[in-house]
Amino acid sequence: MIPITFNKDDLNNVKKGNVRGQDLASFLSISMPKRAGVLDIFDDPCGYVQIVPSTGYATITMKKGYVNIYGRCIYVEQGEQVQIALPASGTITGTFGIRVDLGETGANEVAWFTKTTTLQQDNILNNEINGLYEFALYNYTATSSGLTLTKIATVIQNIDDYLKGANFTTPLTNDNSTKLATTEFSQNLVNTIRTVANKKRNGSLKLDNGLIIKWGWVNTPAGETTVDVIFDTNYSFSTVYSIIATPQDNDGRDMWVQIQTYSNTGFRYVVYRDRTNCFYMAIGV
């Protein structure tokens, strides 16, 4: 077997550039829809020629293929063989597959294994010093006369199937990770900023996050310099954060407008000259 993306910073693992095998393994682990499995987009090593010699061993000859184990990509060469001992009597059941042992060095980091006990499957993305992951290709049943295999290897679907949503988990709306967004996630996000509005000259707008904006135009009558303004009753304020008032006059006179008092239902403004009309905007919740 050939390890492709492993921990060591050497030419055997990373052929070009300055990317470390460890960094590339972490990236692949995050981007893969499953943490461990046979890569369906390449050849599948789980085809085999099974030979049962007379020496008490069954020899399994593997096909070529690729396996991903937490971003550690492994190439199984055509013709690699695994031997499983046959019992003199009775029946033995077990598992065989590929072991990644980050506590080993060099070529020993990846090897075939056969096992009749529970597999060890550490999160080797988090434990990159001495983590160990045993990835099962087959369960087997061995007797004195032969060997029976049952394929159990997880298959990592190709990218087309992945993008169709077969393996998507919808993130929470406040999820700031690098996960791909599903349509459901995107719609949830849109809903958080969706607005409802009373679209008039004197109107208002409310966002789903609770923020309310009100606006309008007020006529200042002749002879008046103080005017009370009542907000429209759509989406009433519980708290007003800010009110901005701007004077409007067509006579070219000196003018200004000043907010005198305000509440959740309206405000009072004062102008320097009568007939100085007022545009306003209020923001609150």
The domain segmentation of the chain, as residue ranges, is 2-156, 195-284
Rounded Cα–Cα distance for residues 129 and 127 (Å) = 6
Using only C-alpha atoms, what is the Rg of the chain?
A: 35
Quick one: tokens of 280? 């306003």
Quick one: tokens of 35? 């943490």
Task: Return the CATH class of domain 195-284.
Answer: mainly beta
Domain 2-156 has CATH 2.60.520.10: yes
Tens of pLDDT along the chain (285 residues) come to 888 777 554 444 444 455 555 666 666 666 666 778 888 767 888 877 777 666 788 999 999 999 988 888 889 999 999 999 999 899 999 999 999 998 887 778 999 999 999 999 998 888 878 899 999 999 999 998 889 999 999 888 655 555 555 555 677 766 776 666 677 777 777 776 667 777 888 999 998 888 999 999 999 998 899 999 999 888 999 999 999 999 987 666 678 999 999 999 999 999 988 888 999 999 999
DSSP-assigned letters across all residues of 21-51: HHHHHHHHHHHSSSSEEEETTS--S--EEEE
Quick one: tokens of 96? 């065989």
Q: Is the pTM of this model over 0.85?
A: no
The CA distances from residue 123 to 37, 103, 157, in Å, are: 14, 13, 21
